Structure 1
Amino acid sequence: MILEQQRKIDPKQDSIMVAQGVKRTFGKGHNAVHALKNVNLNIPRGCLVALKGRSGSGKTTLLNVLGTLDQPTEGNVFFQNNNISNLSDKERTNLRRKDIGLIFQSFALTPYMTALENVEFALRIAGIPSKEHLKLAEEALSLVGLKKRMKHRPYELSGGEQQRVAIARCIAQQPALILADEPTAELDSKMGFQIIQLFKKCIQDTGMTIVLTTHDPDVMELVDYLYELEDGEIVQSNQNAID
């Protein structure tokens, strides 16, 4: 049950993504685990949105379903007015390559590529023209504070620096939607604040939408919308910065 009524949104006009009655169950019978229970969610276009909740609340599962890494057991997810709940593996992969960017806690960097090469490689996979790769990669790495570390490989970078490479790799493609799992978890408070401000600038400059999971109360104060999950359900929603 949503305790605080969220702004009414027309999915066809204001929302980039809509989840309707989404459930995700793992296992069957007495061993079934109901990770998501009837989740209804509107993600407004051009906003910074956070999902918060304790470990096991369903945040990452919901992010995986929204990002087509997983499919709902029941319910539907709409992205830019298209139902993406039952796409083929190929269709889901293509969607993630071009329109939905993902930032993982595990960084998922190619270990023997430099930071610059990691970002360029992602641009190549996304089908960005090759003549633009170097410029876009350098700009993205500079934005996340790694201008002087572009030629370093992941094992030569700290955990926080690797996370920033992962963020640069994602924002360089300028997808319509970015889904980020704890993107500031490995960063100190100063750099975490800078990354959130960077996200907000990307939204302002490109119109992209960013959804992240977080435990950080400081981050929660900076987002436009905040949704709290508990036992697989959205139990509260707050609108911070948008009237």
Structure 2
Amino acid sequence: MTTGEQSGKAPIVTAEGVTKTFGRGGSAMQVLKGASLSVQPQPLVAIKGRSGSGKTTLLNLLGALDRPTEGTVRFLQTDIGGLSDGKRTRLRRTGIGLIFQSFALVPTMSAYENVEFALRIARVPLAGRRGMAEHALELVGLKDRMKHRPLEMSGGEQQRVAIARAIAHKPSLILSDEPTAELDSRTGLQIMKVFIDLVRREGMTIVLTTHDAAVMELADHVHVLEDGRIVEER
């Protein structure tokens, strides 16, 4: 029984029998081999798996960054694999927030400018951008550091800026690829506290990939990806 089915709620995102093949002919490599996953609203979900197991590939499909070779990915009951490139881009701008392992901040911009720039790209009207950017930075505990540039901040602070950038447009779903991989254990736990607060207080749903046992202990659900399939859930 899947997570969504257990709760009786409609899942926020699902993958059904998803395969993903890169390349063609003799050089083709199948990374996902019929993976299925269902995530209900407002949990913190971790996807665990060895390096090369397909975690990032699955996350990219859930986030409308790529299309499955076979199978279906649905976000709020919409088949996102069947959408045009333009519609998938608009979906990411409004309903999905993406957090990358490398932070991917613009080094010449302050924390505030990095978040505000993302809102500009999402075509949020000018009148609302400042308040939304400041609120997002406040949620991650950086309101007093919003004028600092990335090189003036610690790794944990940079990751919090990246989180603020991902949540500023108030998406329903946050996807994060190995968010604590570049951080020490203490800072990693601080980042997880931010995620937990976003789920509990702001009603967001977060799906992340991880190798970190401490992160898995804090997650509401853990899915194990092995040989291209989800083989275990707790």
Taking structure 2 as the reference length, the TM-score comes to 0.92
Q: Contact conserved, 1:180 with 1:213, CA < 8 A, in 2?
A: yes
Q: Report the Cα offset of residue 113 of structure 1.
A: 1.3
Residue ranges of structure 2 left out of the alignment (5+ in a row)? none
For each residue in 1:74-110, what CA deviation from the matched residue of structure 2 results, as whole angstroms up to 9, or x when unmatched? 0110110111112111111101101011001122222
Q: 1:131 to 1:7 in 2, by over 3 A?
A: closer
In structure 1, give the amino acid aligned to 2:10.
Answer: D
Alignment partner of 1:224 out of 214, 220, 225: 220
- Corresponding position of 1:99: 95
Partner of 1:196: 192
2:29 is equivalent to residue 29 of structure 1: no
Matches within 5 A, 1:1-243: 6-7=2-3, 9=5, 13-238=9-234
- Distance in structure 2 (CA, Å) of the matches to 1:201 and 1:45: 15
Stretch of structure 1 that moved more, 163-172 or 185-194: 185-194
CA contact (8 A) 1:11 1:18 kept: no
Give the letter for the 1:122 counterpart.
A
Separation (CA, whole Å) in 2 of partners of 1:109 and 1:179: 17
Identity of aligned residues (%): 59
Unaligned runs of 5+ in 1: 239-243
User: CA-to-partner distance for each residue in 1:31-70, whole Å, 9 max, x for gaps?
Assistant: 2211100011101111110001111010000001111111
**CA RMSD, Structure 1 to Structure 2 (Å):** 2.0
Cα distance between partner residues in 1 of 2:80 and 2:148: 37
What is the count of residue pairs matched by the alignment? 234
Q: CA deviation at 1:7?
A: 4.6
Higher helix share: 2
> How many Å separate the matches in 1 of 2:7 and 2:80?
15
Shift in CA distance, 180/127, structure 1 to aligned 2, threshold 3 Å: same
